Structure 1
Amino acid sequence: MFQPRPLQSDQIRVLVNAIHSKSGGGVTYLRNVLPLLAKDEDFELHLYLHKDQLELFGVIEEGVQVHVLDFSNGFLATLLWEQCVLPIRARRMSIDVTLSPANYGPLLAPRTIIMLRNSLAVAKRETRLFKRLYWMGLTLMTILSLIKCERAIAVSTYARKVLTFGMEKKLKLKVPVVY
């Protein structure tokens, strides 16, 4: 069981919430950014992975404490775990910053940073009811996360424009574009 650090530590305790990174951009991003963050002595890194994701990430950089999670792995179960359990665990661990490299993250976790990267335009073309509900849920969670997060980072100017839902100018300082 993880023991929280003493409060006098100068390191910034970062929880990387990777439970949405199951293929493509999220996995690639984390494979590239985790080694860089692990080298920074200002950070104490904790990586949350579902047990089904272990093969995707292979060997994790030294300096990253991996927390392997075991919960039902579906959209709704993941959403509930992330919104209910993750914030409690993060607070028990005295997490300073929660990084979620996805359009949405835990609404009640400490100082959440999300990454706006996946277009939601697909929702308009979807005809299947279940998939339409999925995209509506994803859109709602993106909006709520954008409102609640400390910061959001966008992977492109286009992503910032479409995923700030017409509030790009208002949110320009909260949502910088990073490459």
Structure 2
Amino acid sequence: MRLFIHALGASAGGGLTYLRNMLPELAGRRDVSVTVLAGEAADGLIPPADNIKILVGSTQGRGVLSRFWWEQKEIPKLIRQAGADVLLSAGNFAVWNSPVPQILLSRNSLYLSPDFSLDLRHRGEYRMWADTKLKGLIARQSILRAQLTLAPSDAFARELRSWTGHEVAVLHHGFGRDHFVRDATPLPPEIQERLAQAEQGTRLLFVSHYNYYRNFETLLRAVALLKQSRRSAGIRLFLTCELAPGKNPGSYRTDKAQALLQELQIEECVVQLGAIPYQQLHHLYRACDVYVSPAYTETFAHPLLEAMACGLPIVASDLPVHREITNGAALFFERNSPSELAARVAQLLDSPTLRSDLREQGLRRAENFSWKDHADGLLSMATRLLQETSR
């Protein structure tokens, strides 16, 4: 089979994680050849392989409609040139006039999240609100036009079915603990020093670049409550981003979160590490005590698997997808309640038995996810789709 992967939208976060882990599973397979159209952010992340060809494209500087029309015009030409049998559109938007059967991977819940829409309006982000609505229209039509749409979780598949009235299949993203922890390169000395300074206290961790739906402000308010109620615990929250202006990729403004640090007087409690290389993240997880995930919408949440695989107990917002991915190996709180988040963290800190139980449950749960299983499932679906459309 000749598979064409349209991944121009993989610029950060889950999109890059998908390519970084999925493509090594396809590399070297004799039953498939792959052409990948990826953006500049993904260039260099994809390992060389005889059966994988990389095309680097760019839609930088284009608006939503300009990018959409460019993709509709140019990608069919590239598909034909590659002689592809099946197209995998890995970034929410389908190629509406694909010359071959198409599988769409839909993995962005922002287009249908009322919380995100309300959040943008409260922040005065009206242009982003309009862009999100426009992207949502394209994403919804994409589901209707693709021959097969995949969601990375049952929870998100249910949302998509309700949103579109269209059937959506489920194929969990994978995870490979051995691959994730294999790099022995230590964290940079300055990062190690900042972790060591909090060694006698409690180290909370949140792995994410700054964006609105990850709900940083609720987390910061919870840290302020923990600082007040547990002065002896030495609470420190480690972030893999920086909140200073100009330090965060993308168009999300950090000024509100930065001001909140000062307003709550928790600047010394929040350690902004900046971006950590993916291959070194496992060292950071293992150096911390509790993983927190306050997002108000998600489709899969890879960091939960990473945290579980590294033995970290988790406190997560009470979303169906968080319960699905952890299978209950976490404590949950109402997504917009700093007091509940602080209470769940305190509950963990007060119970070594609970921490140990969640750690063991998480380690077992992480073993249930495999990129090989994901790749096998994808190729099986592609083969079946090709057979059905060639009748």
TM superposition score normalised by structure 2: 0.39
Give SS of 1:42's match: coil
| CA 161–28 in structure 1, closer or farther in 2 if over 3 Å, else same | same
2:55 maps to: 67
| 1:95 has 2:84 as partner | yes
Q: Out of 100, 108, 113, which is 2:103 matched to?
A: 113
Distance in 2 (alpha carbons) for counterparts of 1:30 and 1:51: 13
1:25-174 equivalences in 2 (<5 Å): 25-55=14-44, 57=45, 59-76=47-64, 77-109=66-98, 110-120=100-110, 121=113, 122-127=116-121, 128-166=125-163, 171=167
Write out per-residue CA displacement over residues 26-45 of structure 1, whole angstroms, 9 at most, x where no aligned residue.
11111111111223212110
Give SS of 2:38's match: strand
Higher relative contact order (CA 8 A, sep 6+): 1
CA contact (8 A) 2:28 2:49 kept: no
Give SS of 1:133's match: helix
| CA 58–148 in structure 1, closer or farther in 2 if over 3 Å, else same | closer
| CA 25–70 in structure 1, closer or farther in 2 if over 3 Å, else same | closer
CA RMSD between the two structures? 2.1
Specify the code of the residue in structure 1 equivalent to 2:37.
Y
1:3 maps to: none
Residue 88 of structure 1 deviates from its aligned partner by: 2.3
Distance in 1 (alpha carbons) for counterparts of 2:101 and 2:118: 32
Q: Which has the higher helix share?
A: 2
Write out per-residue CA displacement over residues 154-176 of structure 1, whole angstroms, 9 at most, x where no aligned residue.
111111111233456x51xxx22
Q: Which has the higher strand share?
A: 1
| 1:178 has 2:171 as partner | yes
Larger radius of gyration: 2
Give SS of 1:126's match: helix
Distance in 2 (alpha carbons) for counterparts of 1:73 and 1:64: 28
Residue 71 of structure 1 deviates from its aligned partner by: 5.0
**Structure 2 portions without partners, runs of 5+:** 173-391
Specify the code of the residue in structure 2 equivalent to 1:68.
V
| CA 25–178 in structure 1, closer or farther in 2 if over 3 Å, else same | same
CA contact (8 A) 1:34 1:61 kept: no
CA contact (8 A) 2:26 2:32 kept: yes
Residue 132 of structure 1 deviates from its aligned partner by: 1.7
Specify the code of the residue in structure 2 equivalent to 1:103.
N
CA contact (8 A) 2:4 2:88 kept: yes
**Identity within the alignment, %:** 23
Give SS of 2:8's match: coil
Distance in 2 (alpha carbons) for counterparts of 1:166 and 1:51: 32
Residue correspondences, number: 163
| CA 112–157 in structure 1, closer or farther in 2 if over 3 Å, else same | same
Residue 147 of structure 1 deviates from its aligned partner by: 0.7
Write out per-residue CA displacement over residues 125-174 of structure 1, whole angstroms, 9 at most, x where no aligned residue.
32222112211121111111111111111111111111233456x51xxx
Distance in 1 (alpha carbons) for counterparts of 2:151 and 2:7: 17
